[in-house]
């Protein structure tokens, strides 16, 4: 019953809300556009253009009504103007350089986009003369990962080995600084800005075509009838379907709008404690769902460092937000593979959103 109530509340709460969504041309952003549209939101998206014609955004954009701003999060003046002109009720900040391996190639740009880009957004919010809830999306990789069998909690020490992880930890510091300095919770009745961060686990789902991510690598190999190259087969990750963290962001913004001062200021969104899979298991399940395929271990001592073990503790989201994952890891993989088997499809994307809400 509780799940039904929360889904019903989504529709009643978000109907006609003005939502400013950064990163809307990305994989998660495109799914979010579809879901926000389904709930009747007025949406302005702000992001760079998609990196390829194959992107999910290009599949769905003509079927959705929204304001489409193609611009850089580092363009502070443009970002400020778009936010102030739109006067959003809610901001979901997803725009980021989101790839670990790419961060080794463009480290300073990764920090600039992720940390300074977030500072630009929050500085713009300073000029917003109305109530607004801001959800800054970071990552499960913000923690100082000791590579031990431990589920990281929101209060644990932040850190980051690679530039991507470190830049996202820096983003969390930026958020904390702005919240303390300009949006202090003790003065919420004056500024009326709720600033929270959301740390999501490894997200999978249909429509992800990024380089150097495991699911797109699997799909490209399977479609070309090639052996799947797997860099880190024994690495353990908190896999979750893309709709899981998006439902977390929606829940967090809704709760913050109603009772911000009673909430914590950061939340993990990921799978249940006993549902963290190694990469090799994900690949095996994906091959089974596809109906054919093989893989090989291509690990190398010369490859850039990526974490070998990472788990999240989602107790806080469960207790304070009544949020919990609806799909286990195997189901998330199955949903993902079904999307790719259907082909690039707006209708199937909407069908999966509706099916997810019905669970």
How is the chain split into domains, by residue range? 2-358
Does the domain at 2-358 match CATH 3.40.50.720? Answer given as yes
Answering whether pTM is above 0.85, one says yes
Q: What is the pLDDT of residue 345?
A: 87
Long-range contacts of 126-129 (CB under 8 A, 24+ apart): 126/182, 127/80, 127/83, 127/84, 128/83, 128/84, 128/87, 128/88, 128/193
Query: Whole-angstrom Cα distance, residue 211 to residue 213?
Result: 6
Question: Of how many residues is the chain composed?
Answer: 359
Q: What is the spatial distance between Cα 296 and Cα 273, in angstroms, rounded to a whole number? A: 28
Per-residue pLDDT of the chain (359 residues; tens, 9 = 90+): 234 344 557 989 999 999 999 999 999 999 999 999 999 999 999 999 998 888 999 999 999 999 999 999 999 999 999 999 999 999 999 999 988 889 999 999 999 999 999 999 999 999 999 999 999 999 999 999 998 999 999 999 999 999 999 999 999 999 999 999 999 999 999 999 999 999 997 999 999 998 888 999 999 999 999 999 998 899 999 999 999 999 999 999 999 999 999 999 999 999 999 999 999 999 999 999 999 999 999 987 777 767 778 999 999 999 999 999 999 999 999 999 999 999 778 999 999 999 999 99
pLDDT at 52: 84
DSSP sequence for 31-63: HHHHHHHHTT-EEEEEEPPPSSTTSHHHHHGGG
Tally helices (H) and strands (E) across the chain. Answer: 15, 15
User: How far apart are alpha carbons 143 and 312 in whole angstroms?
Assistant: 10
130 touches 86 (CB < 8 A): no
Distance (Å, whole) CA 108 – CA 290: 39
- Check residue 5 and give its pLDDT: 43
Copy the structure tokens of residue 280: 């090799």
Positions annotated as catalytic residues are 164
* pLDDT reported for residue 139: 94
- The whole-number pLDDT of residue 180 equals 97
Tokens 């286990």 -> residue: 328
């Amino acid at each position: 019953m509780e799940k039904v109530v929360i889904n019903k509340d989504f529709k009643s709460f978000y109907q006609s809300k003005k939502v400013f969504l950064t990163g809307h041309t990305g994989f998660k952003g495109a799914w979010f556009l579809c879901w926000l549209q389904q709930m009747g939101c007025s949406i302005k998206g702000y992001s760079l253009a998609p990196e390829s014609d194959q992107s999910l955004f290009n599949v769905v954009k003509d079927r959705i009504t929204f304001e489409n701003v193609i611009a850089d999060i580092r363009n502070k003046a443009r970002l400020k103007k778009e936010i102030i002109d739109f006067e959003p009720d809610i901001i979901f900040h997803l725009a980021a350089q989101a790839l670990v391996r790419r961060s080794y190639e463009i480290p300073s740009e990764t920090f600039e986009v992720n940390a300074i880009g977030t500072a630009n957004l929050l500085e713009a919010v300073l000029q917003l003369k109305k109530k607004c809830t801001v959800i800054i999306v970071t990552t499960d990789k913000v923690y100082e990962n000791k590579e031990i069998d431990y589920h990281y909690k929101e209060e644990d020490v932040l850190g980051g080995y690679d530039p991507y992880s470190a830049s996202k930890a820096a983003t969390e510091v930026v958020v904390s600084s702005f919240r303390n300095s300009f949006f202090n919770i003790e003065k919420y009745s004056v500024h009326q800005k709720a600033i929270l961060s959301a740390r999501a686990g490894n997200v999978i789902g249909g429509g992800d075509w990024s380089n150097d991510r495991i699911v797109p690598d699997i799909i490209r190999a399977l479609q070309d009838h090639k052996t799947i190259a797997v860099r880190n087969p024994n690495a353990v990750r908190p896999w979750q379907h893309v709709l899981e963290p998006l439902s977390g962001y929606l829940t967090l913004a809704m709760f913050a709008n109603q009772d911000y001062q009673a909430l914590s200021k950061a939340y993990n969104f990921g799978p249940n404690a006993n549902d963290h899979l190694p990469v090799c298991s994900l690949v095996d399940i994906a091959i089974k769902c596809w109906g054919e395929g093989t893989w090989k271990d291509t690990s190398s001592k010369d490859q850039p460092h990526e974490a070998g073990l990472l788990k999240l503790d989602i107790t806080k989201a469960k207790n304070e937000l009544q949020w919990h994952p609806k799909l286990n890891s195997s189901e998330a993989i199955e949903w993902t593979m079904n999307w790719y088997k259907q082909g690039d499809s707006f209708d199937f994307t909407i069908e999966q959103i509706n099916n997810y809400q019905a669970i």
